[in-house]
Amino acid sequence: MNAQIPTRNLADALWLLIARARGGTHWLANADCEVHSLEIDHGAQPVTLLSRTQGVGAQSYVASPHSTWVSYPQHEIQRRLPAGLSLIGKAVTACMLSPLSLLVKGGMLDQAAIFGNKLISTNLYPDWSGPELQQLHQQLADTYPQRPLMVRNICPQVNPGLAASLQQLGWQLVPSRIVYLCDPTQTAVWKHNHVKQDKKLLAGADMELLTPQQIQPADLPAMREVFRSLFIHKHSSLNPDFTPAFFEMCHESNFLDLYALRYQGKIAGALGLYEHYDKYGDRNWLTTPLIGYDQGLPQELGIYRRLMSLLLQQARQRQASLHYSSGSGQFKRARGGVPHMEFTAIYSRHLPKIARTCNNAFAHLMQSHAPAILKKADSL
């Protein structure tokens, strides 16, 4: 068994223990949810639940399905519009997305019990299947009889057994985003010109690379700021807004392995790596729920390119498959990323007829139209 598995388990257990006691906002400023837990495969997994009275507007997409499918796309469309069209664009996109919003609300999806949700962009799971998954399915339905059930980040190329087993149990797979997967053991990955250039950039003497062992508590506020500079200020307030407590926990427990780039004495970039070890340590996955860089520094420094080079090199060093997550499709294709559709699994057969009908209509609508829309958006 991989020697890192006990460390990973302890970090996950610490995250869950504190989240259960203090709620999602202890780790994410914009995830006002309760955190429960259920066991599968002899280990506890989180279950996140938004309050039934909580407004949907300000909740991160990692906690709120409404933010995932309605608010976040609306933010993205508005962000790409010229400033003079922002008011018109807001009205138009609200009209376009209102039917989807009504289905999400009618299906009670923002009241869903979301299993395995660590409130990060990409949750990585064992390939659960068989009696253990069936038992969990029944336990979820018994524990949350008035809520839809949900599992985020289901990718058949990552968890083929889990995706197939959930469908067999009556769960619907709803397209949610396009993700990029990479096998760093393939020599072709390292022949890409961009990979070679990024590696040379990362090795440059103008910036200092700080490993998890070298990062000091005094570095954490600046690391949080460069993350927020990119994902909260530049992109969307619906991205996970990790709290100072989250950065401190990662530094102390390696829930995420934190790395940083220092330029002229100041933190210029930050990276947080999450590595998942399967039950037997045979196939690991590495992803990065946390990445950011100083927006005020010249683009020519290539800070993002350096951080992504570090991610790719870490995947090879750890002998892990790389989950590039979503976004920046052209960038990731040029660095060995292969696009795949990712889904959210939803189960609502135990709910009243109105909720079931809304969720069936929502799933059909998304399955029919979302893949083409997501592919188009990813190519922009």
Quote the domain boundaries for residue 191.
Answer: 181-338
Q: What is the CATH number of the domain that holds 230?
A: 3.40.630.30
d(CA 314, CA 66): 34
User: For residue 88, which amino acid is it?
Assistant: I
Quote the DSSP letter at residue 189: G
Q: Are residues 82 and 187 in the same domain?
A: no
pLDDT at residue 95 in the model: 74
* Strand ordering across the sheet containing 320-326: 33-40, 43-50, 113-115, 149-154, 338-347, 172-182, 320-326, 284-293, 266-277, 257-263, 208-210
Q: Are residues 132 and 190 in the same domain?
A: no
Q: Are residues 135 and 186 in the same domain?
A: no
Each residue of 275-296: b (16+ CB within 10 Å) or e?
A: bbbbeeeeebbbbbbbbbbbee
User: For residue 150, which amino acid is it?
Assistant: M
Q: Are residues 332 and 352 in the same domain?
A: no
Beta-strand ranges (E) seen in 155-207 are: 172-182
Q: Are residues 318 and 363 in the same domain?
A: no
How many structural domains compose the chain?
A: 2
Q: Could you tell me if 156 and 163 are in contact, meaning their C-beta atoms sit under 8 angstroms apart?
A: yes
Q: Are residues 149 and 240 in the same domain?
A: no
d(CA 46, CA 48): 6
* CB burial of residue 193 (10 Å; 0-12, 13-18, 19+): exposed
pLDDT at residue 1 in the model: 43
d(CA 311, CA 317): 10
Q: Are residues 346 and 272 in the same domain?
A: no
pLDDT at residue 278 in the model: 73
Q: Are residues 229 and 258 in the same domain?
A: yes
d(CA 165, CA 202): 42
Q: Are residues 25 and 52 in the same domain?
A: yes
DSSP string of 236-284, one letter each residue = -TTS--B-HHHHHHHHHH-SSEEEEEEETTEEEEEEEEEEEE-TTSSSE
Q: Are residues 239 and 290 in the same domain?
A: yes
Q: Are residues 24 and 168 in the same domain?
A: yes
Q: Could you tell me if 12 and 255 are in contact, meaning their C-beta atoms sit under 8 angstroms apart?
A: yes
Q: From first to last of the 380 residues of the chain, give the pLDDT tens digit.
A: 455 667 788 999 999 999 999 999 999 999 999 999 999 988 999 999 997 655 545 899 999 999 999 999 887 877 776 665 555 556 666 677 888 999 999 999 999 999 999 999 999 999 999 999 999 999 999 999 999 999 999 999 999 999 999 999 999 999 999 999 999 999 999 999 999 999 999 999 999 999 999 999 999 999 999 999 999 999 999 999 999 999 999 999 999 999 999 999 999 999 999 999 876 456 799 999 999 999 999 999 999 999 999 999 999 999 999 999 999 999 999 999 999 999 999 999 999 999 999 999 999 999 999 999 898 888 76
Q: Are residues 284 and 159 in the same domain?
A: no
